[in-house]
A and B are shown apart, each in its own frame.
Chain A
Amino acid sequence: MSLFKLVGKRLLLIPVSLFILVSLSFLLLELMPGNPAITIAGDFASDEEIAKIEASLGLNDPLGARYLSYVGSVVRGDLGRSFFSNEPVLAELSERLPATMELVILALIVAGIVGLFLGVLGAYYRGRKVDQITRGTVTLFQSIPDFLMALLLIFFLFYLWSVAPAPVGRLGFSDVAVDTTTGFLLIDTLIAGDVNAFFVAGQHLFLPVLALGIVYAAYFGKTARSTMAIALDSTQVEFARACGLPERKVVYYAFLQARTPILTYGAILFGALIGGAAIIETIFSWPGVGNWALSAILSLDIPVIQGFILAAGFVTITLFLLLDVLIVLLDPRVRF
Chain B
Amino acid sequence: MGELRHRSGETLKASFRVLRDQPGIGIGLSVVVLMLLAGFFLPLPYSPTRPDPLNVLQPPSSLHWFGTDSNGFDVFSRTIASAARDLPLALIGTLLSALVGVPLGLLASTKGPWSERIMRGLDVFQSFPLVVLAIAIVTLMGNRLENVIIAILIVNVPRFMRLVRSEALSLRESRFIEAARAVGATPLRVMRKHMFPNVIGVVLSQTSLAAAQAIGIIAALSFLGVGVSPPNPSWGLMIQTGVRSITSGDWWVIVFPGMAVLIAVAAFNLVADGLQMRQENER
Contact = CB atoms under 8 A, between A and B. Distances in A.
Q: Which interface residue of A24, A155, A273, A283 has the most chain B CB atoms within 10 A?
A: A155
B242 to A, nearest CB: 7
Contact of A34 (B127, B135, B140, B242): B140
A147 B247 contact: no
- B-side binding surface: helix, strand, loop or mixed? helix
A165 to B, nearest CB: 11
A158 B243 CA distance: 14
B247 A32 contact: no
B132 A276 contact: yes
A275 interface: yes
Contacts of B132: 275-276, 278, 290, 293-294, 297
B148 interface: no
Interface in B165-198: none
- A-side binding surface: helix, strand, loop or mixed? helix
B273 interface: yes
A93 to B, nearest CB: 15
B140 A148 contact: no
A143 B141 contact: no
A122 B269 CA distance: 17
Interface string A1-41: 00000000000000000001000100000001110000000
A275 B128 contact: yes
B246 A279 contact: no
Contacts of A166: 247
Given A139-B269, A159-B246, A298-B226, A151 B258 contact: yes
A154 B130 contact: no
Interface stretch (B46-54, B73-81, B212-220): B212-220
B4 interface: no
B131 interface: yes
Contact of A145 (B130, B216, B248): B216
A298 B139 contact: yes
A262 interface: no
Contact of B128 (A143, A155, A283, A312): A312
Contacts of A147: 220, 223, 239
A279 B223 contact: yes
Interface string A258-285: 0000000000100111111011001100
A272 B262 contact: no
B129 A151 contact: no
B136 A143 contact: no
Interface string B195-225: 0000000000000000010001001100110
A313 B258 CA distance: 32
B273 A151 contact: no
A203 interface: no
B261 interface: yes
A163 interface: no
A209 interface: no
A140 interface: yes
Contacts of B98: none
A316 interface: yes
Interface in A154-177: 154-155, 158-160, 166-167
A272 B129 CA distance: 4
Contacts of A82: none
A298 B273 CA distance: 36
B140 A298 contact: no
Given A33-B141, A294-B135, A148 B127 contact: no
A204 interface: no
A152 interface: yes
Interface residues of A, number: 45
B45 interface: no
B1 interface: no
A279 B131 contact: yes
A268 B128 CA distance: 10
A167 B247 contact: yes
A275 B129 contact: yes
Interface in A122-159: 135, 139-140, 142-145, 147-148, 151-152, 154-155, 158-159
B127 A313 contact: yes
Contacts of A282: 224
A143 B269 CA distance: 7
A143 B248 CA distance: 26
A166 B219 CA distance: 24
A140 to B, nearest CB: 7
A109 B277 CA distance: 28
Give the top 4 A-B pairs by smallest Cβ distance, nearest first.
Answer: A275-B129, A143-B266, A275-B132, A32-B140
Interface of A: 20, 24, 32-34, 135, 139-140, 142-145, 147-148, 151-152, 154-155, 158-160, 166-167, 268, 271-276, 278-279, 282-283, 290, 293-294, 297-298, 300, 305, 309, 312-313, 316
Interface of B: 124, 127-132, 135-136, 139-142, 212, 216, 219-220, 223-224, 226, 239, 242-243, 246-249, 251, 254-255, 258, 261-262, 265-266, 269-270, 273
Given A143-B269, A144-B262, A145-B262, 13 more contacts: A34-B140, A139-B269, A140-B266, A142-B212, A147-B223, A151-B258, A154-B246, A275-B129, A279-B220, A293-B132, A294-B132, A300-B139, A312-B128
